[in-house]
């Protein structure tokens, strides 16, 4: 059984992302103030599910123990492993961080960049400015790491949506440090953990706001983009990346770099937004 913690309030009618989540798992809606501290939220909920008859294990603990199989320096994992041997009846609670904000998620992004850098796609020689919206920032950091590992002349521009620049830089250093610790053997020749290593250009949103909020007129802009290009963007995430990509495309570049926007999804969330911002979505009828 999966337990999915969703930010905000349950809508009157389950549609889109809320509906899909409810079909796949046991959904709990968490107030925004509590959800803001994600680690404590996940930890407390996992403990409530485990109660006195289960053990709580973080996904990162599995990777950590796997990469150091011959070491006994990770008591949290070893303690849980021992508790499992005491009885198979113990319930095992595995916590996967919100937004895939763990270093192990970087592996998937590196594979994506490896695929995109094939000669028949973006290639490895041409300069590219990669634009992505940043929630946890994991995707942007993963692209930056992959560019270093593969020797690609790529710049990463990430539009900050959920935090200030200091928070994203802190997350960047944290993920790089964790990644180097877990996967050092695979990338031994690359020193990506330097204090001054800034692998992402963190960009302020054109019109900053509290995360999750949308502004008057933004849904109309999303509608115009969809009708003109066939590309569906949403006002919380991908519209910010689209606007930044358009800005970079309009600027002269001596290197002749291509501007590429990575679409991160977010469109399922528009169903819930339509119920929350009825006035803004009502303008689409006109």
pLDDT value of position 197: 56
Predicted confidence (pLDDT) per residue in 235-281, tens digit: 999 999 999 999 999 987 766 889 999 999 888 888 888 888 888 88
> At residue 245, what are phi and psi to the nearest 5 degrees?
-65, -40
- Joined together, the tokens standing for residue 251 give 């600027």
Q: Where in the chain is the domain with CATH 3.40.50.1100?
A: 105-285
Whether the CB-CB separation of 56 and 39 falls below 8 Å is answered with: no
- Which alpha helices (H) appear in the chain, and where do they start and end? 16-24, 32-35, 38-50, 59-67, 75-85, 105-116, 138-150, 165-182, 218-229, 238-250, 270-276, 278-282
81 pLDDT above the threshold of 90? no
Q: Taking Cα atoms as reference points, which of 143, 145, 141, 132 lies closest to residue 169?
A: 141
- Total count of residues recorded for the chain: 286
Q: How many Cβ atoms are within 10 Å of 280's Cβ, its own excluded?
A: 18
Measured CA to CA, the distance from residue 4 to residue 1 in angstroms comes to 10
Measured CA to CA, the distance from residue 192 to residue 197 in angstroms comes to 7
Low-confidence winner among 30-44, 56-70, 157-171 (lowest mean pLDDT): 56-70
- Cβ-Cβ contacts under 8 Å for 16 (sequence gap 6 or more): 268, 269, 270, 271, 272
> In the predicted model, what is the mean pLDDT of residues 35-54?
88
DSSP 263: P
22 pLDDT above the threshold of 80? yes
Predicted confidence (pLDDT) per residue in 122-177, tens digit: 999 999 999 999 999 999 999 999 999 999 999 999 999 999 999 999 999 999 98
**Residue 253: C-alpha distances to residues 126, 245, 261 (Å):** 13, 13, 17
The third-level CATH classification (topology) of the domain covering 105-285 is Rossmann fold (3.40.50)
Measured CA to CA, the distance from residue 45 to residue 3 in angstroms comes to 9
- Joined together, the tokens standing for residue 180 give 């180097």
**Residue 283: C-alpha distances to residues 237, 269, 270 (Å):** 20, 18, 15
């Amino acid at each position: 059984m999966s337990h999915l913690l969703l930010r905000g309030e349950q809508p009157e009618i389950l549609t889109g992302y809320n509906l899909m989540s409810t079909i796949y798992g046991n959904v709990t809606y968490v107030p925004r103030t509590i959800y803001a501290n994600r680690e404590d939220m996940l930890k407390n909920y996992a403990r409530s599910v485990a109660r006195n008859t289960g053990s709580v294990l973080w996904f990162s603990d599995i990777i950590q123990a796997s990469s150091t199989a011959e070491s006994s320096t990770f008591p949290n994992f070893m303690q849980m492993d021992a508790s499992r041997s005491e009885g198979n009846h113990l319930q095992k609670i595995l916590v996967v961080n919100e937004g895939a904000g763990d270093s192990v998620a970087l592996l998937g992004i590196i594979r994506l960049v490896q695929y995109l850098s094939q000669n028949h796609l973006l290639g490895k020689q041409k300069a590219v400015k990669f634009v992505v919206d940043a929630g946890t920032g994991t995707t942007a950091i993963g692209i930056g790491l992959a560019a270093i590992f593969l020797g690609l002349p790529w710049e990463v521009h990430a539009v900050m949506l959920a935090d200030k620049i200091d928070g994203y830089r802190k997350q960047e250093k944290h993920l790089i440090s964790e990644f180097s610790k877990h996967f050092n053997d695979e990338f031994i020749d690359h020193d990506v953990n330097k204090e001054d290593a800034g692998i992402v250009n963190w960009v302020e949103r054109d019109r900053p706001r509290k995360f999750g909020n949308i502004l008057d007129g933004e849904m109309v802009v999303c509608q115009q983009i969809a009708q003109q290009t066939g590309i569906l963007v949403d006002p919380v995430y991908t519209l910010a990346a689209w606007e930044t990509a358009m800005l970079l495309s309009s600027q002269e570049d001596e290197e002749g770099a291509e501007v590429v926007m990575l679409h991160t999804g977010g469109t399922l969330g528009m169903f819930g937004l339509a119920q929350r911002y009825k006035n803004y979505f009502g303008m689409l009828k006109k």
